[in-house]
A and B are shown apart, each in its own frame.
Chain A
Amino acid sequence: MTALVSLKGVSKTYTRGKQAVPVLEKLDLDIAKGDFLALMGPSGSGKTTLLNLIGGLDRPTAGSVTVDNARIDQMSGGQLAQWRSRHVGFVFQFYNLLPVLTAEKNVELPLLLTSLNKAQRQKHVETALEIVGLRDRAKHKPSELSGGQAQRVAIARALVADPTLLVCDEPTGDLDRKTADEILNLLQVLNKQHGKTIIMVTHDQKAADFATHELHLDKGVLVEQSAA
């Protein structure tokens, strides 16, 4: 398989006050198209930082980040935002849905940045909610949904613009085992049946077992790669 994501010599250092805090150091990584990768490691190992760099939320201090042949580390803030809207779907631990919008309006958000008309947007929203099995909850607000349902809505929002890549940061961290397994099964379906490339940060080995590959980070350095 060809590499969809390629990181070469990537370092990331944060500045806290006058102190420089290195988080990632000279990291090389290729992620194949269609992969379902679990990023694991202890707290502070740089998992989320790595995810942010791949998802175009942050830029490396050094090195290059290429996603689907685009050098995203060289993009301006506006270009990155536009790129994210087309190529990346994000799933967070705490769902991060807008509480004032219904499920369908939350899912529609990424489509507001496209040229689709209202009817076309509605059709895409219905399809995404259908995929996550929540079409009947379209008119409900996040406060009226369970944690699992809210995370499904978040996945529908990540999917709706048909992105190249799904980036998930502890997507089951706030869920019980049963609900977590349902969400992970859903991600597996999206990976296997819909061909989505998924990169998932997790602390949970059981969650990582749903992935096709695991990557372990420690103190900003890649220590182990393994097939799940």
Chain B
Amino acid sequence: MKFFGLVWAMLWRSRARTWLTLASLVTAFLLLGLIQAANSLFSGEQINLSAPILITQARVSFTSPLPMRLLPQVEAVPGVASVSHSQFFGGIYQDDPRNFFPQFAVNPERWVRTFPECVLPPDQEQAWRTTRTGAIIGPQLAQRFGWKVGDKVPLKSQIWPLKDGSRAWTFDIVGIFGSKVADSCARVGNMYLNYAYFDEARQFGNGGAGIIVVRIANPDDAEAVGRTIDAMFENSADETKTQTEKDFSLNFVRQLGNLKLILYSILGAVFFAILMLTGNTMLQAVQDRIPELAVLKTIGFTDAHVLGLVLSEALFLCVLGGLTGMLLSVATMSALANAPGIAFPPINANLQVWLFALGAMLLLSLAVGVWPALRAWRLSIVDALAGR
């Protein structure tokens, strides 16, 4: 610890150079934090879908609707606890794409049975069942737009026109659902519409739903139940594909390609550039300080001492920049999650991300520090003092 002051002072010998190097390190680690978060999001680590739910869609594509007549057959499959259906509405609030949030047309009674972890006060549940234009929303959505029960919400559907050709739908908020136990309901950012009204009012596609939502009694039976459902409709006009809700969600992301490879390629390029930049800066910093390092050796600092000082300097620089960047990425993610008008799920940099970042800081400091440290270690006092 007694060398801390010396290392710190040497680090700030050229303030402008140190600030610029720090800025590049902060940027690199900010990017690392954000990319790790994005990767975590796209790999499903942050998807809070723990309910034992299977999604059955048309084998061809989820955009092909499934007929309602399949519901009783699915309900009869052993291991199935309840069945609901859902149609993606694709509406935009106030004609602004940034206001996007998921809306689904569902059967209220079936929805309540299928998602018991999401609770709705009885009077609001009743109102939803009986109000044709009624819709319920999650608390996150209510907070995002400041909506409350009794509000009218105009939505412009990108998919479904009304019978008169207009796309301007209006729904009445009749309920706000919550979690039965903390965070158990994963749908708090969604809106659910009354399917009966939606189906009657839409111009086409009547009588079908995009997906069938299957709640199973035992999560361990997911694969078997899914296989049974798909086998039941094999070689029929409505062949199905059944998968867990988490896999269903991830399939949307996977359509974008190998994001993990793309993201890590970008990150690798950034870190390589930072490695070159910081390494060059450190080498230059040591070169400028040759006479000072020679003086330290003259007064008794050993080769190992100066090697340690230079490596410590690189470590301080990388850890300072790295931690600042990581903290900034956490703040950015938090700001994004809380920002009004942005549908960004809350993501936390977990222990694994922090350990990865710390490992990167250590490796980077070693990579950028080892050459200048060896230069300092090999320094001949007599030659350095003579300016050779």
B119 on the A face (CB < 8 A): no
Separation of A85 and B298 alpha carbons in the complex (Å): 8
Given contacts A109-B6, A118-B2, contact A100 B12 (CB under 8 A): yes
Q: Which residues in chain B, 298-332, are within 8 Å of chain A measured between CB atoms?
A: 298-305
User: Contact: B382 with A110, CB < 8 Å?
Assistant: no
Given A96-B291, A100-B13 in contact, is the A86-B5 Cβ separation under 8 Å?
Answer: no
Q: Which residue of B lies closest to A111 (CB)?
A: B2
Assess A85 versus B300: contact at CB under 8 Å? Given A99-B13, A112-B6. yes
Q: Are A85 and B299 in contact (CB under 8 A)?
A: yes
- Knowing A96-B291, A96-B295 are in contact, say whether A110-B303 is a contact too (CB < 8 A): no
B62 shortest CB reach to chain A, Å: 64
- B360 within 8 Å of A by Cβ? no
- Asked if B381 is an interface residue, CB under 8 A from chain A, the answer is yes
Docked CA distance A157–B381 (Å): 18
A225 on interface, CB distance cutoff 8 Å: no
Inter-chain contact B302/A82, CB cutoff 8 Å: yes
Nearest chain B CB to A212's CB is how many angstroms away? Answer: 25
B173-220 contacts to A (CB < 8 Å): none
On whether the beta carbons of A82 and B299 are closer than 8 Å, the reply is no
Q: Does B38 sit at the interface, judged by CB under 8 A?
A: no
- Chain A residue nearest in CB terms to B297: A81
Give complex CA distance A58, B292 in Å.
Answer: 18
Cβ-defined partner of A57 (8 Å) among B292, B298, B301: B298
* Least Cβ–Cβ distance between B69 and chain A, in angstroms: 81
B296 interface residue (CB < 8 Å to A): yes
Q: B380: shortest Cβ distance to chain A, in Å?
A: 9
Given contact pairs A57-B381, A81-B301, A100 touches B3 in the complex (Cβ within 8 A): no
In the complex, residue of chain B having the shortest beta-carbon distance to the beta carbon of A160: B299
Tell me if A52 is interfacial: C-beta within 8 Å of chain B. yes
Q: Interface centre among B5, B304, B381, by most A CB within 10 Å?
A: B381
Q: What is the interface residue range for chain B against chain A? A: 20 to 34
Cross-chain contact A101 with B9 (CB below 8 angstroms): yes
Contact of B300 among A58, A86, A98 (CB under 8 A): A86
Nearest opposing residue in chain A for B298, CB measure? A90
Q: Mark A147-159, 1 if CB is under 8 A from B, else 0.
A: 0000000000100
Interface string of B275-303 (1 = CB under 8 A from A): 00000000000000001100111111111
Is the CB–CB distance between B302 and A110 below 8 Å? Answer: no
Q: How far is the CB of A22 from chain B (nearest CB, A)?
A: 16
Nearest to A112 among chain B residues (CB) is: B2
Q: Which residues of A are found within 8 Å of B10, using beta-carbon distances?
A: 98, 100
Query: Is A36 interfacial (CB 8 A cutoff)?
Result: no
Given the complex, which residues of A lie within 8 Å of B386, measured CB to CB?
48
Interface status of B385 (Cβ within 8 A of chain A): yes
In the assembly, what is the distance between CA of A100 and CA of B301, in Å? 18
A48 to chain B: which residues have CB within 8 Å? 386
Q: Is the CB of A110 within 8 A of B300?
A: yes
Contact call B302/A81, Cβ cutoff below 8 A: yes
- Interface membership of A47, Cβ < 8 A: no
- Inside 8 A of A58's CB, which chain B residues have their CB? 381-382
Cβ contact within 8 Å between B300 and A84: yes
A17 at the interface (CB under 8 A from B): no
A90-B13 contact given A98-B292, A109-B6, A112-B6, CB 8 Å threshold: no
A113 CB contacts on chain B under 8 angstroms: 299-301, 305
B13 touching A101, Cβ below 8 Å: no
Contact of A101 with B382 at beta-carbon distance under 8 Å, contacts A81-B301, A109-B296 already known:
no
Residues on B with beta carbons closer than 8 Å to the beta carbon of A77: 302-303
A124 interface residue (CB < 8 Å to B): no
On chain A, the residues within 8 Å of B381 by CB distance are 57-58
Q: Give chain A interface residues in 109-166, CB to chain B under 8 Å.
A: 109-110, 112-113, 118, 157
Contact B295 A112 (CB under 8 A): no
A96 (CB) vs chain B CBs: closest residue: B295
Q: How far is the CB of A39 from chain B (nearest CB, A)?
A: 16
Docked CA distance A78–B385 (Å): 19
By beta carbon, the residue of chain A nearest B294 is A96
- Given A57-B382, A58-B382, answer yes or no on A100-B9 (Cβ-Cβ < 8 Å): yes
> A10 → chain B, closest Cβ, in Å?
15
Which residues between 21 and 55 of chain A lie within 8 Å of chain B, taking CB atoms?
48, 52, 55
> Using an 8 Å CB-CB cutoff, how does the interface string of B84-115 with A read, 1 for contact, 0 for none?
00000000000000000000000000000000
Residue of chain B at shortest CB distance from A83: B300
Whether A196 is near chain B, meaning CB under 8 Å from some CB there, is no
10 closest residue pairs by CB, A with B:
A85-B300, A100-B9, A81-B302, A96-B295, A84-B300, A110-B299, A100-B13, A57-B381, A113-B300, A58-B382
For this complex, 13 residue pairs linking A to B, each with C-beta atoms less than 8 Å apart, are A48-B386, A57-B381, A58-B381, A81-B297, A84-B298, A85-B300, A98-B292, A99-B13, A99-B292, A100-B10, A105-B6, A109-B6, A112-B6
